[in-house]
Chain A
């Protein structure tokens, strides 16, 4: 069974540009999460989808970040315009259900560098 995949693995962009990250969850997983780790900090939750619906986007830093999951399959996270402090590793995770016993499986992450 394929795991969570993310694209691209690395992205280097200039401040003010736009970047779109993609996540393909494990097939059949309705729950999809985005997390982020900025340099020197812990991994932090950004948002949670159940199918195509946003359940919780309380961790989104500001309105420069837009996440979508059209059709309830893959998800995209767009940063527009990017700022220097957006640099970090963006992880996507998916789970079959929420709650005890349902592991969140993480993708390899997208390393974003804003220069």
Chain B
């Protein structure tokens, strides 16, 4: 079983749509959770950290369910500029290593 599994995608949505990304992780000792965004042929960039209480940043909402070892990202009112690959990333407790999912490609169409 992969350490971090994501929806394989790709997702193609019209502008203004709401899109949800799902992710599960296998290591119950994982402590920190993130969504990264990666544009084509660019480096991954931190989009947002994910907290147990859930957190929101503008149009983006992230949720964490530790019991189910499940992480989600919701993008509302999607924009053309949201087109990118979204990476689910997990880090262990005393472990600084980031463990990545394969990513889900999102294309927002006009």
Contact = CB atoms under 8 A, between A and B. Distances in A.
A106 B31 contact: no
Nearest to A98: B96
Interface string A77-105: 00000000000000101010011100110
Q: Is the interface on chain B under 10, 10 to 19, 20 to 34, or 35 or more residues?
A: 10 to 19
B43 A106 contact: yes
B45 A106 contact: yes
A42 interface: yes
Contact of B43 (A45, A100, A107): A107
A43 B100 contact: yes
B1 interface: no
Given A43-B44, A106-B44, A35 B4 contact: no
A42 B4 contact: yes
Contacts of B31: 100
B78 to A, nearest CB: 24
Contact of B44 (A48, A91, A98, A99): A91
A42 B102 contact: yes
A41 B43 CA distance: 15
Q: Which 5 residue pairs of A and B lie closest in terms of their CB atoms, listed nearest first? A: A106-B43, A98-B96, A43-B100, A45-B97, A42-B102
Interface of B: 2, 4, 31-32, 41-46, 87, 96-103
29 contacts: A4-B43, A31-B96, A33-B98, A35-B98, A35-B100, A41-B102, A42-B2, A42-B4, A42-B100, A42-B102, A43-B44, A43-B87, A43-B100, A44-B100, A45-B99, A48-B96, A48-B97, A55-B96, A91-B43, A91-B44, A93-B98, A95-B96, A99-B96, A100-B32, A103-B46, A104-B98, A106-B45, A108-B42, A109-B43
